[in-house]
Chains A and B, each alone.
Chain A
């Protein structure tokens, strides 16, 4: 790790103003991605601004058809939360599938969403649950927020405060773990709303995306058979030593069918 200075922010405004004066500073929450990156000397921030104890960024609350989760809420807190388990159990399940117990005890919702790793679990839920990402500056719809591999709508110095998930009728998540890293080689989150069904896919492509063909098919009939005839275009998917594009395309469909079956069983 290169030399750097650590700063524990006492308030959100202190954190953000610090970042505006130090353009090479970075927010630090759980650090589950940032710290390994720093250890590999792949990034060189001058300062780390620890926001993990800011009360403004915490909390889990269900209100008005929404589930609102603070950005610094740890994965294990989401997984164990009675509120989350009652309102959107699929989200609690997803949180319990992230990384490993040690990661879940440190990693945070805001950190994961802001980082937008193409194989992270959370972005699929955020997108499928039509969430709104509330920052210190504005609200951003999930459809606008994720902009491809590690890219988001966040501007410099902008920080996620909370994520407002729309509560679905039913939802389910199915993940195919990467055999080495445990990230999602493909994860599919399906959420059924009064207005229709949203299907979000993570891990398979360069960034989380909605599988609109599936959404259209499921609008006609919410059944695995609706997905059967669909062909996932593999040409835009990821390819690496672990899995081909075709294999990932297959996983998209298989995980979607399994998620849907799970959804229908709830």
Chain B
């Protein structure tokens, strides 16, 4: 068993978990943060994307123990009260989600992408979304949302 201390969305948590526990399972099952989704088991789909120390990572490909001491932001931590994060707002405005399952991971990936590259070209957006699969939208409106968010975040 490992004793894990971490900060999630600004709140400190301590949990004791099996060493083999994945970070995503810690977030979902132990902290009740079910906005982070699990869409595959081979680290391809990106549904479980969260931010650790400001960078996007796949929480299904990391042990909870590896996140000891980390500062984590999940989709639940993006909005400021009633005010959506600009990326969330852009997804809403652009109809960039249908079933919504990939959306939390997609939003976390986009937010990180825009942090590294506030003004991405189309090609850079495609490159930045390589790690996130969506089955519903055809990505067209997701790319639009990325551009809108880039504008509003300027």
Contact = CB atoms under 8 A, between A and B. Distances in A.
A and B touch in the complex (CB under 8 A): yes
A99 B63 contact: no
B131 A100 contact: yes
Nearest to A3: B20
Nearest to B54: A105
Given A1-B20, A3-B20, A102 B63 contact: no
B153 to A, nearest CB: 17
Interface string A25-39: 000100110011011
B39 interface: no
Interface string A200-217: 000000000000000000
B41 A102 contact: no
Contacts of A224: none
Interface in B38-61: 41-44, 46, 49, 52, 55-58, 60-61
B130 interface: yes
Contact of B57 (A2, A28, A39, A105): A105
Contacts of B60: 39
A46 to B, nearest CB: 11
Given A31-B63, A36-B42, A101 B109 contact: yes
B67 to A, nearest CB: 11
Contacts of A99: 130-131
B57 A31 contact: no
A246 interface: no
A36 B61 contact: yes
Interface in A27-69: 28, 31-32, 35-36, 38-40, 48, 50, 52
Question: Looking at chain B's contact residues, is the secondary structure mostly helix, strand, loop, or mixed?
Answer: mixed
B61 A31 contact: yes
Nearest to A32: B61
Nearest to A106: B57
Interface string A244-262: 0000000000000000000
A105 B49 CA distance: 11
A76 B22 CA distance: 23
B20 A102 contact: no
Contact of B112 (A38, A39, A101): A101
Interface string B61-94: 1110110100000000000000000000000000
B65 to A, nearest CB: 4
B2 A6 contact: yes
A47 to B, nearest CB: 9
B66 to A, nearest CB: 6
B97 to A, nearest CB: 19
21 contacts: A1-B20, A3-B20, A6-B2, A6-B63, A31-B63, A35-B62, A36-B42, A36-B61, A40-B42, A50-B65, A50-B66, A76-B55, A101-B56, A102-B56, A102-B58, A102-B131, A103-B58, A105-B52, A105-B57, A105-B112, A181-B44
The 7 A-B pairs of least Cβ separation, nearest first, read A100-B131, A100-B130, A6-B19, A6-B65, A105-B55, A1-B20, A102-B58
Given A6-B65, A36-B41, A101-B112, 4 more contacts: A6-B19, A6-B20, A28-B66, A106-B62
